[in-house]
Structure 1
C-alpha cells in the first residue's frame, strides 16, 4: 500500500456537511482516552491502539473523534507514527457512507495546517481513490512499505509463513 502526499495549503474549503443529524467532529480530550482507546481496539485491533495512545500524549491531543448521540463512531490521528503523517483513521462499519471519514480527514489535515505543516503524508493508504478525490492526494512513488517496513504486528506469524 503506497503513501500519499497532500498539499495542506491547497485543501478544499469546508463543504456543506454531509454528516447526518447529531454527528459532530471534534478533538478528543484526555479524559476520554480510555473510552476512545477501548473503542479503537475493539473495532480495529492492537496495531492502531498504539498510534492512538501516542495521539493522546500531547496537548491538544492529535486525535479527532466523530460522535453520534454521545457515542464515538469514528476517529482520525495525525503526527503519531511520524511527524507530518496522517492516520490511522477508521469509522464504525454501521456508520460508513455518511461522510464521517471525509470530515475526520479534513478536520485532521486542517489541524496539521494550523500547526504549520505545508504537506502531510498519508501512510500505507488502502483507499487511494478516496484520498485523491477528497483532498487531492497523490501517490508517492516507491513508498511501499515505507516507514512501516519491519513493523511488528501482534497477529502476524514471525516466520513470515
Structure 2
C-alpha cells in the first residue's frame, strides 16, 4: 500500500541534527562522482532493484539522493523522484546502525527537498514500516493504492 505525506504540515525535525552529531553521522546530498560507490553499496546491502532506483535519483540534477556517512563510510541513503515524480524511496540504513535515528534524518532530508521543489504532498510507495512513517511524518494510507506503481514489475 502507498502512503501520503502532507508536506505543508511536515513537522520540524528537531531530533535529527543534534542526534546525528552525537552519533558522528553526517547527512548530505550525494555527489555524482560517488555514483558507483553508492549504487554498489545499495546493491550489496538491499538488492539490485533499489540500486536501480538510486541510479535514477543519482542522475538527476541536482541528485535526489541523500546519504548518511560515519567515519567517511556510507551507512545509509534515501532517494526521491526515482520511480515516479513526487515519490519518496527507496531508503535504507546499515543493519548494524539501525535505531540511531539515521533513517529518520534521511527521511526528513528527502521530504524537505520535495517540499522545496514545490510539492504539496509526497507519496511513499509500497510502504514497509508503516508505523514508523505514521509517527515520524503523519503519513496516511492511500485507499485502493495496492498494488500500486510496482504492479507487474519484472523479478529476477
Counterpart of 1:126?
128
Counterpart of 2:15?
16
2: CA distance between counterparts of 1:136 and 1:9? 11
Aligned-pair CA distance for 1:26: 0.5
Runs of 4+ aligned structure 1 residues displaced above 2 Å come to 16-21
SS of residue matched to 1:76: strand
SS of residue matched to 2:118: coil
Q: Which runs of 5+ in 2 are unaligned?
A: none
| Aligned-pair Cα RMSD in Å | 0.8
TM-score by length of structure 1 reads 0.93
The 5-angstrom pairing of residues 1-161 of structure 1 reads 2-17=1-16, 18-19=19-20, 20-154=22-156
TM-score by length of structure 2 reads 0.96
SS of residue matched to 2:37: helix
Q: Which runs of 5+ in 1 are unaligned?
A: 155-161
Aligned-pair CA distance for 1:21: 2.7
